[in-house]
Amino acid sequence: MPTPISECLYCQNNETLHRLMIKIGDLEVSQLFLFKEQSHPGRCNVVYKTHGIEFHELSDEQRNAFMRDVANVAKAISTVFNPDKINYGAYADTISHLHMHIVPKYKDGYGFGGVFEMNPQKVALSDVEYAEVIEKIKKEVAKQLEG
């Protein structure tokens, strides 16, 4: 059963969302968020702007635009954080809002070689550190969009 808009953390921009993520900005058809939990430095979430759409329901144009957003963010994360690998996760068992986790992985880092944990609650940054990370990502995403 799909999550109603009234219960969607992305649509409601609610306390749960603010506890988990910080909005970085808007993309072509998505919003970009930084996960506060930074066991995987640079971990972000690309969230489609429209509620209740499954990936397979997108038109070719919508799908290409969403994946362009995902790719631009992944390129930016790769440039800024230099991970050994980027994992992508499109899980939505409990929330009916299309989103893609962008999870940089590092060979000697947390969880390399396995499926990433959704919220391990191991690494939190200071407000200043979050602001620095967000600024670096914003700058690099802007470069990707300029092309």
Phi, psi dihedral angles at 124 (to 5 degrees): -120, 150
Axis-axis angle for helices 60-81, 127-146 (nearest 10)? 120
Residue 32 has what pLDDT?
Answer: 98
Closest CA to 137 of 75, 85, 92, 61: 75
- pLDDT tens for each residue of 11-53: 999 999 999 999 999 999 999 999 999 999 999 999 999 987 8
Phi, psi dihedral angles at 141 (to 5 degrees): -65, -40
Q: Give the angle subtended at the CA of 110 by the CAs of 106 and 112, to the nearest 5°.
A: 55
Residue 91 has what pLDDT?
Answer: 80
Residue 93 has what pLDDT?
Answer: 72
The rounded distance, in Å, linking the Cα atoms of 19 and 12 is 13
Mean pLDDT score, 97-126: 90
Place of tokens 């509620």: 51
Tell me the pLDDT band of 139, cut-offs 50, 70 and 90.
very high
Residue 45 has what pLDDT?
Answer: 97
Which secondary structure element, helix H or strand E, spans residue 49, and what is its range?
none
Tell me the pLDDT band of 58, cut-offs 50, 70 and 90.
very high
